[in-house]
């Protein structure tokens, strides 16, 4: 239902606006990442919700922009794969998870699948030992460029602080950090889930919490998207708030690689 609202926000309208803004960029982006919670129209979501997603992002595909989609806690992995065959990877390297490596000119992106419960919507996420083992091997095989790891859930390390550490994230977040930390090519971990734009570092690794395109939990938060520009020694991410008068509109996250 394209007129459906959540927390007072018409989600289809918000996504449509973001797609229009990206489509109108003077310089064509290299690609677009939608980092989990692709749909939600109740629990569980329906095939129609995924078909609506495909229609809403179709202008990006018609322009030739690659789309990289990850699973969030509101998603249903099997339903997504069955409904949107055009987005299905030919041979997922981890059984039961949708993961991928994207090799770009200045960095390699590692897309993870943190959907923990595929039967009902719960807040927490997980990666699992098989995916963590694959990630470690994939990182070791691609040491030559900076690595940016992307997943829907935040780390949730119990002894940590700040929003990136709060409950409801990865139940195996500490194990993820044990994979990322010793590998110096890992420069950033980018996640969503918190509906909160934030940035902090841990042992030189940038932890970037994306804003939500749809609804916010905190009225002071912006909704919108980030425009990322890779550089030789880092990345700059700029907030494109849908509310152009928001005080954080145009805010820059300047990431310098360790």
Question: What string of H, E and C letters represents the secondary structure of 93-137?
Answer: CCCCCCCEEEECCCCEEEECCCCCCCCCCCCCECCCHHHHHHHHH
> Residue 122 has what pLDDT?
87
- The pLDDT of residue 21 is above 70: yes
Q: Between the CA of residue 201 and those of 46, 165, 188, 197, 220, what are the distances in Å?
A: 38, 12, 9, 14, 23
Task: Provide the token pair at 143.
Answer: 């040491």
Would you say residue 236 has pLDDT above 70? yes
What pLDDT digit, counting tens, does each position of 198-227 carry?
A: 999 999 999 999 999 999 999 999 999 999
Average pLDDT, the chain: 93
pLDDT digits over 138-192, tens only? 999 999 999 999 999 999 876 666 667 778 899 999 999 999 999 999 999 999 9
Could you tell me the two tokens for 146?
Answer: 């900076």
- Which residues in 119-138 are b (16+ Cβ under 10 Å) and which e? eebeebbbbbeebbebbeeb
Residues 48 and 119: their CA atoms lie apart, in Å, by 17
Determine the Cα–Cα distance for residues 197 and 225; give it in Å rounded to an integer. 10
> What is the average pLDDT across 124-133?
97
Confidence at 252, pLDDT banded by 50, 70, 90: very high
Tokens found for residue 164 = 């990136």
Q: Which has the closest alpha carbon to 148: 50, 73, 226? A: 226
The Cα 56–Cα 13 span in angstroms is: 9
Of 241 and 162, the structure prediction assigns the larger pLDDT to 241
Q: Of 148, 75, 68, which Cα lies nearest the Cα of 116? A: 75
Tokens for 35, please give them.
């980092």
């Amino acid at each position: 239902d394209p007129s459906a609202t959540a927390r007072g926000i018409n989600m289809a309208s918000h996504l449509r606006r973001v797609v229009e803004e990206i489509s109108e960029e003077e310089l064509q982006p290299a690609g677009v990442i939608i980092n989990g919670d692709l749909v939600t129209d109740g629990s569980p979501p329906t095939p129609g919700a995924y078909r609506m997603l495909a229609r809403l992002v179709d202008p990006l595909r018609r322009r030739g922009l690659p789309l990289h989609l990850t699973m969030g806690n509101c998603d249903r992995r099997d339903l997504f794969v069955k409904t949107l065959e055009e987005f299905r990877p030919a041979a997922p390297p981890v059984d039961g998870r949708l993961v991928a490596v994207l090799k770009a000119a200045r960095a390699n992106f590692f897309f993870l699948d943190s959907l923990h419960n595929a039967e009902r919507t719960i807040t927490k996420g997980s990666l699992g030992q098989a995916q963590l083992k694959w990630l470690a091997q994939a990182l070791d095989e691609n040491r030559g460029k900076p690595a940016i790891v992307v997943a829907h859930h935040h780390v949730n390390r119990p002894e940590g602080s700040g929003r990136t550490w709060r409950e409801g994230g990865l139940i195996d977040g500490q194990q993820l950090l044990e994979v990322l930390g010793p590998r110096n090519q890992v420069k950033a971990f980018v996640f969503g889930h918190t509906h909160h734009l934030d940035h902090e570092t841990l042992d030189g690794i940038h932890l970037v919490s994306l804003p939500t395109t749809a609804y916010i939990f905190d009225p002071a938060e912006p909704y919108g998207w980030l425009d990322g520009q890779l550089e030789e020694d880092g990345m700059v991410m700029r907030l494109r708030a849908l509310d152009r008068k928001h005080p954080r509109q145009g805010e820059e996250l300047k990431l310098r690689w360790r």
